[in-house]
Amino acid sequence: MNKHSAIVIGAGILGIATAYALARKGFRVKVIERSQRAEGASVRNFGMIWPIGQPAGKQYRRAIRSRSIWSEIAMAAGIWHEPVGSLHLAYHEEERLVHEQALLAFEQEGRQVQWLDPERTKQKSPAACPDGLLGGMFSAEDLILDPRQAMSALPPFLSETESIQFCWGLAATGVKRHCVQLADRTNEEADLIFVCSGADTETLFPEVFARFPISKCKLQMMRLVAQPAGFRIGPAICGGLSLLHYGSFSGLPAALQLRKRFQRELPDYLTWGIHVMVAQNGMGELTIGDSHEYGMTHDPFNKEFIFRLILDYLRRMARFPDWTLMETWHGIYPVLTDRTTEIIDSPEPGVYILNGVSGAGMTISFGLAEEFVGSL
């Protein structure tokens, strides 16, 4: 019996996750990507699979499922990954109170979290700055990988194991039922078509995206050189600013008081949407970020003062043997301004749009795609 066929437009993480879910359901899958490789937000991130940041309910469940799928695929494909967890450091009483409230909620949900006193926090990460440290919240559920290596390794692995066909350097210029029109004036046909085009919301179905409260976020990040003598930071490290960024913390009562403190002491950080995190890849390099600027059009130039603000804050909470800067970059991803979690739309029968996961692509895409494809 012939398999049903599907085309996925876009080879970022959401597109790859959708292709994987379709293949596992028995579809014959082709992925069409206009670039020669993944180059957007899916490779310009920390590589954190981050259940700790996801609010209770469907987002947390998707994150946990994604983590499981990432672990399975990374093990089978030889992709470097470490289940090192995350460590959220507290240096002010307001930060400690947010952690206290979060821990109560997290424990009721069954999350694997615990509060560590200053000594145990330093044992968990030799990078944690001891000066003024009140302690830290450790989550065992978070996974670190290198997005550049992972996104490079996934297509050939899935081609071999799931028979997914990847077509690189081929732009889709139009979509109608059962048919994708390509820039070379040829057509590709399939039973189902999925548009997972990330920040490119203008090319295909712009009238659909115009109905949603969508904006675009520009973030700035950087990477430090591999640390000497095999120095490892252990878990990914976060500071108090991250408690205002992630939905699992930002709605807590104590977060309001913490925001007031930062408005007095660090107004520039709130203006530019800066929260500070660091993760270490398998080569020992440290990925650091990030900032958040919102709007439909962004200038292509990085702002040096943003990098300086990030590093100034990081030096308050972390100690590294080598702070040599290796590279900087920025990424852009679509974001929904009404706090909804994704765009799922069907502009015509058999055509589906998946987008707008608002910077959580690495964390939730496998779970979201499996859930959506399973619902068809």
- The residue extents of the domains of the chain are 5-45+148-212+340-375, 86-140+214-336
Residue with tokens 């040599």: 324
Interatomic CA distance for residues 373 and 354, integer angstroms:
11
Q: Is the pLDDT of residue 350 over 60?
A: yes
Superfamily designation of domain 86-140+214-336? D-Amino Acid Oxidase, subunit A, domain 2 (3.30.9.10)
Interatomic CA distance for residues 195 and 370, integer angstroms:
15
Confidence of residue 3 (pLDDT cuts 50, 70, 90): confident
Take residue 184 and report the two structure tokens written for it.
């070379």
In this prediction, residues 69-96 reach a mean pLDDT of 98
Tens digits of per-residue pLDDT, 151-202?
A: 999 999 999 999 999 999 999 999 988 999 999 889 999 999 999 999 998 8
Confidence of residue 335 (pLDDT cuts 50, 70, 90): very high
In this prediction, residues 5-25 reach a mean pLDDT of 98
**β-bridge mates for residue 87, sequence order:** 138, 237
- Contact, 214 vs 356, CB < 8 A? yes
Interatomic CA distance for residues 6 and 26, integer angstroms:
10
Q: For 260, phi and psi rounded to 5 degrees? A: -60, -40
Hey, do 5-45+148-212+340-375 and 86-140+214-336 end up sharing a CATH topology, with the first three levels equal?
no
Q: Is the pLDDT of residue 1 over 60?
A: no
Confidence of residue 26 (pLDDT cuts 50, 70, 90): very high
Interatomic CA distance for residues 354 and 344, integer angstroms:
5
In this prediction, residues 145-152 reach a mean pLDDT of 97
Tens digits of per-residue pLDDT, 88-113?
A: 999 999 999 999 999 999 999 999 99
Whether the pTM exceeds 0.85: the reply is yes
If residue 204 lies in a helix (H) or strand (E), which one and from where to where? none
What pLDDT is stored for residue 2 in this prediction? 62
Amino acid identity, residue 247?
G
If residue 311 lies in a helix (H) or strand (E), which one and from where to where? helix 304-317
Work out the mean pLDDT of the chain and round it to a whole number: 96
Q: Which segment of 129-133, 243-247, 307-311, 335-339 scores lowest on mean pLDDT?
A: 335-339
Superfamily designation of domain 5-45+148-212+340-375? FAD/NAD(P)-binding domain (3.50.50.60)
Q: What percentage of the chain exceeds 70 in pLDDT?
A: 99
In this prediction, residues 31-41 reach a mean pLDDT of 94
Amino acid identity, residue 138?
F
Confidence of residue 339 (pLDDT cuts 50, 70, 90): confident
What pLDDT is stored for residue 217 in this prediction? 96
Q: Which residues, in sequence order, are CB contacts of 297 under 8 Å at separation 6+?
A: 216
* 206-227 residues labelled b (16+ CB within 10 A) or e (exposed): eebbeebebebbbbbbbbbbbb
